[in-house]
Structure 1
């Protein structure tokens, strides 16, 4: 038998997480089953969340409410950057190159954290930059991880920029190669001396959380041995972040074994 959360806070948080993570707006019965609550209890808690603006109810289904949407984006980005900075630092030290983390936005990908070794100190701008989908590997990795419907607005952005979609050097070919290999590689596109290799962190198929990117001089990637090492280290970094985030979201489930205070 599935054990129910032991406190009102646990119940509310479990339901908020379930609503936020759902790819399609769930019904009451689906939410109750997912978090292991009786339907009357789930309905009561959800009604409180709706009343406070955390959840929105429409046509018998539940969606993230205005309060959750207002708080979640900036808070999530800041927390993600702080949480993953040590992984970026380790990756940068291992490869002797720049590293950054990007998250997807409507107009491209945003750099939210970065590490720069001494030999790249002349590059002063990075964190906060908005990257078009076709310009750097991090943005390409995130875009390629989307499903065929979700990627359409980004294809329109690329077309509007004047970058070709079709052909071997077109963006669609870049997406196909990235999906096949699991790595996005962009060389000499934004600047002649710069190249980047990236891997998306995808906890759920079709929903990339962020990308981890290694940036160096183009000549750094001429050696297949170095490129192979970058890919291995990127895989380790992406797996580390996925496991870290998974451990955070599951730790509360383990703590629900405690007895409810009287």
Structure 2
């Protein structure tokens, strides 16, 4: 007679994570692309995903056939057109984007500068740009949607830190690699801790050439729920144009972020 599994056994089986190795490998290959490396050779893809080259080739061939990757004449691979529509669906339906989009439009009209929204990934200690409203100026700063960066450098990362309790912010900073993006990037954790304390009192942070040379920005944390900020609202532009305007722009971003958090 067939044995009927117990409730405990069923619960145990259902609670175990169910994964598919081929899907995991395909995701690893797709995740190898970055804004800095939008085209990769098969060898580079295999290395990034930790796969043997024949295995990577088999999966990449399927991804190309289904439109999730493309292959150029020189043999290099890139992300495919199918991801464009999927990415747009994701971006437009993110809770944080829906909550902040209208306020970002108002802030961009009031200042004429590029307004960006970065969503926090606290587990990875990263921030990803999920929405942007472009500047009305011919000379503006391009911040690609989907770009990931460490917390910090940059205004978005520092804004997330001032949204934490002091002890937690110091613990996060102590665990960060703090690699230099420019010659002005903070690489001394003690100096960064002191700066975060000072900016926490202001309610916004300032960045001047720390992530990109000759680019300045201001940002403030956004809380939709929970103790930690879920995102950072930022405004960026050429340093020459923002010079002398930082305090005014910082106050605008801080007040907008506070309204969204409320």
1:102 offset after TM fit, Å? Answer: 1.2
SS in 2 for 1:152: helix
**Partner residue of 2:241 out of 220, 225, 248:** 220
**Partner residue of 2:98 out of 79, 82, 96:** 82
TM-score with structure 2 setting the length: 0.55
In structure 1, the partner of 2:109 is 93
Separation in 2, partners of 1:125, 1:234: 17
SS in 2 for 1:199: strand
Change (3 A) 1:160 1:77: farther
In structure 2, the partner of 1:19 is none
Separation in 1, partners of 2:189, 2:99: 38
Indicate the larger mover: 148-157 or 80-89.
Answer: 148-157
1:142 offset after TM fit, Å? Answer: 0.3
Q: Does residue 164 in structure 1 map to residue 187 in structure 2?
A: yes
Higher helix share: 1
SS in 2 for 1:113: strand
In structure 1, the partner of 2:222 is 201
1:109 offset after TM fit, Å? Answer: 1.1
Q: Which runs of 5+ in 2 are unaligned?
A: 1-10, 15-89
TM-score with structure 1 setting the length: 0.55
1:172 offset after TM fit, Å? Answer: 1.6
Contact 2:140 2:238 in 1 (8 A): no
SS in 2 for 1:158: coil
Cα RMSD of the aligned pairs, angstroms, is 3.2
Q: Which runs of 5+ in 1 are unaligned?
A: 1-49, 54-73, 244-262
CA shift digits 1:176-235 (9 cap, x unpaired): 222121111110112221001011123568411221111011123321xx2232123213
In structure 2, the partner of 1:176 is 197
Residues 49-128 of structure 1 mapped to structure 2, 5 A cutoff: 78-105=94-121, 106-119=124-137, 123-128=141-146
**Length, aligned pairs only:** 170
CA shift digits 1:100-156 (9 cap, x unpaired): 111211232111111112436765442111122232111101022223236524432
Contact 1:141 1:200 in 2 (8 A): yes
In structure 1, the partner of 2:171 is 152
Separation in 1, partners of 2:189, 2:91: 38
Contact 1:155 1:165 in 2 (8 A): no
Change (3 A) 1:123 1:182: closer
CA shift digits 1:142-177 (9 cap, x unpaired): 02222323652443223466952346xx32222122
